[in-house]
Amino acid sequence: MIKFSQSQIDKLLKFGDVYQKEDGSNVRAIYEQSLIENQGQISQTTKLTCQQGKVEQNDIVIIDSKRYEVGYIDDDNSGIINAHLNFKGDGVKRGKYI
């Protein structure tokens, strides 16, 4: 993958929103949900697209008053990553990928 310049990254992410991490810092990202059908089963995936290095695995991000943990990061070294989210909820000890 071709590495994006900082200017290109900024132009892409201006279409996103600013989300707060549990540590109080903010991250500008594009939030996306998609439904996948496989053999009659439907699942929902949730991810944030943001600049490389802005979130790490196990970070907690607040989206619409809900807590999500970064479950894994899809990084192609372009400067933009997809952070796949694990719903944590409030007071829930175990989350689930959605």
For 62-71, write each residue's pLDDT tens digit: 999 999 999 9
What's 6-97's CATH class?
mainly beta
34 phi/psi in degrees, rounded to 5: -145, 150
Q: What is the pLDDT of residues 3-22, one digit of tens each?
A: 999 999 999 999 999 999 99
pLDDT at 94: 55
Break the chain into its structural domains and give their ranges: 6-97
- d(CA 87, CA 98) in angstroms, rounded, equals 7
